[in-house]
């Protein structure tokens, strides 16, 4: 069905320019999958079409299909060597793929072709700052903020470079510009708090971190900074409450003592997972039976190395078998490892003992859905919506489950509810799937097809 609809949408238009323009229109509407289809059709007709290659790369980048975007940008550069945009786009892409050394020459070439390429200036400044060259980073960041349309991200990098260079007053001014443009820029709020801590302005740091915490609820790094700010302000009880709620490593004397240096404990709460993992593992060597450290490592590895995460969560659960968070973390790692049956068994037990555990319900819904147990998954997704009415993506999975069960009328209602509420940036892929499915689904409902649910 999807392939047929896509083919019909593309049509048999042999004009590559018109196909490109249709891709541009879809691109502007946020329909990135369709845009890629039009660009590819244009390139079939005219293989040497740098604009189509470039825009195909940007659409793939928006879909987070990074490995596919790379050859598109490289081909655009090959076809049009004096065009700065694909150079800077490829530099950004390589940076996102943690290939900083490869990114630098492309960003530099973009600036040779266009000294006012603000994207290249901003990203290269960030790379220079990361490499410890604050003077060069500041020079580039000043260029990125020279125009009247400079975004908040450019002012943030400038502030970071100014702070690294020792000019804290200038850094505060630049952060003010960033937050004026984007009051809810979490990175700028955190940087503002760090600068305030440098200057012993604890109330200012707490205010900025509270704002960041409201925006990024559950972020352990923000919670760690907030606890530290309260501790330095002499508000030890509040620091203890925040640390306990977030499950972060602290030097709280009322908790079992964690053997380790101040530097190791600070590194354990680093934003950089490579730094925090190394520090946590060092602390674990000194505190081998500390279940919190084990669970922290499990959480750190859960996304990119679920099998290793399982080992840490298992050890934490052995030490504290009644702790539902450790059992839920273990099951969530099982879900990431695609061991859905095992995960569902554990999560069902957790929910039986702790019926309001949202994380357990969310992972159980995924585990059941992935096993194609759609009838069992439906109540879990419905529970998630009742618990968090703004978790709009649940409507998609409810609609999809009904669809797989042949309950077309119920599927249509849920799909339409999803489209009314979904966020284009967050749920682009699901939105595209629903839009492709709806025309046929509506015809099926109109013809009276599908399983009729008992009243």
* CA–CA gap between residue 53 and residue 50 (Å, rounded): 5
Q: Are 147 and 119 in contact (CB under 8 A)?
A: no
Q: Are 127 and 103 in contact (CB under 8 A)?
A: yes
- pTM for the whole thing? 0.52
Q: What is the DSSP string of 170-195?
A: HHHHHHHHHHHH-TT-HHHHHHHHHH
Q: What is the DSSP string of 49-68?
A: -HHHHHHHHHHHHHTT-HHH
Give the residue from 310, 314, 320, 249 showing the smallest Cα distance to 284. 249
The predicted pLDDT at position 12 comes to 54
**Running DSSP on this structure, what letter comes out for residue 288?**
T
Q: How far is CA 77 from CA 52, 59, 74, 86, 91, in A?
A: 12, 17, 5, 6, 12
Burial class (CB in 10 A: 0-12, 13-18, 19+), 151: middle
> What is the chain's pLDDT, residue by residue, as a tens digit (455 residues)?
333 334 434 445 578 999 999 999 999 988 999 999 999 999 999 999 999 999 999 999 899 898 899 999 999 999 999 999 999 999 999 988 878 889 999 999 999 999 988 889 999 998 888 777 888 989 999 999 998 888 998 999 999 889 888 898 999 999 999 999 999 999 899 899 988 888 888 899 999 999 998 998 777 778 878 887 887 787 877 877 887 777 665 443 334 456 766 777 777 777 777 888 888 888 888 787 777 888 888 888 877 788 888 888 888 877 776 677 888 888 888 898 889 988 898 888 888 878 888 889 999 999 999 989 999 999 999 999 888 888 889 999 999 999 999 999 999 999 999 998 888 778 888 898 899 999 999 999 999 888 765 54
List helix spans (H) across 97-117.
100-113
The predicted pLDDT at position 248 comes to 60
The predicted pLDDT at position 454 comes to 52
The predicted pLDDT at position 251 comes to 42
Domains and CATH numbers, the chain: 289-371 (1.25.40.10), 380-455 (1.25.40)
């Amino acid at each position: 069905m999807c392939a047929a609809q896509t083919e019909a949408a593309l049509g048999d238009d042999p004009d590559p320019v018109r196909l490109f323009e249709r891709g541009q229109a879809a691109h502007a509407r946020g329909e990135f999958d369709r845009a890629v289809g039009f660009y590819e059709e244009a390139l079939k007709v005219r293989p040497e079409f740098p604009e189509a290659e470039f825009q195909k790369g940007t659409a793939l980048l928006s879909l987070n299909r990074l490995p596919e975007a790379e050859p598109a940008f490289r081909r655009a550069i090959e076809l049009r060597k004096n065009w700065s945009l694909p150079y800077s786009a490829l530099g950004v892409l390589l940076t996102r793929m943690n290939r900083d050394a490869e990114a630098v020459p492309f960003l530099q070439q973009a600036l040779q072709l266009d000294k006012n390429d603000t994207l290249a200036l901003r990203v290269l400044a960030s790379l220079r700052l990361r490499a410890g060259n604050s003077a060069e980073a500041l020079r580039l960041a000043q260029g990125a903020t020279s125009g009247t349309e400079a975004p908040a991200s450019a002012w943030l990098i400038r502030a970071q470079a100014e702070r690294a260079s020792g000019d804290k007053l200038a850094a505060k001014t630049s952060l003010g510009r960033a937050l004026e443009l984007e009051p809810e820029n979490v990175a700028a709020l955190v940087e503002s708090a760090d600068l305030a801590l440098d200057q012993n302005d604890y109330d200012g740091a707490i205010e900025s971190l509270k704002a960041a915490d409201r925006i990024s609820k559950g972020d352990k790094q923000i919670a760690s900074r907030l606890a530290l700010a309260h501790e330095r302000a002499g508000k030890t009880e509040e620091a203890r409450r925040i640390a306990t709620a977030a499950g972060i490593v602290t030097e709280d004397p009322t908790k079992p003592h964690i053997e380790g240096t101040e530097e190791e404990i600070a590194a354990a709460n680093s934003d950089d997972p490579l730094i925090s993992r190394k520090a946590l593992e060092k602390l674990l060597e000194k505190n081998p039976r500390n279940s919190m450290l084990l669970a922290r490592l499990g959480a750190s590895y859960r996304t990119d190395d679920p099998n290793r995460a399982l080992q840490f969560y298992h050890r934490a659960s052995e030490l504290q078998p009644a702790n539902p968070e450790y059992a839920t973390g273990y099951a969530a790692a099982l879900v990431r490892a695609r061991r859905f049956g095992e995960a569902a068994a554990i999560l069902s037990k957790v929910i039986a003992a702790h019926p309001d555990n949202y994380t357990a319900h969310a992972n159980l819904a995924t585990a059941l859905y992935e096993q194609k147990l759609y009838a069992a998954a439906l109540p879990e997704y419905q529970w998630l919506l009742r618990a968090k009415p703004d978790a709009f993506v649940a409507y998609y999975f409810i609609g999809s489950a009904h669809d797989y069960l042949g309950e077309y009328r119920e599927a249509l209602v849920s799909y339409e509810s999803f489209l009314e509420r979904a966020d284009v940036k967050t749920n682009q892929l699901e939105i595209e799937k629903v839009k492709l499915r709806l025309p046929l689904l509506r015809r099926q409902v109109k013809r009276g097809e599908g399983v009729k649910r008992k009243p």
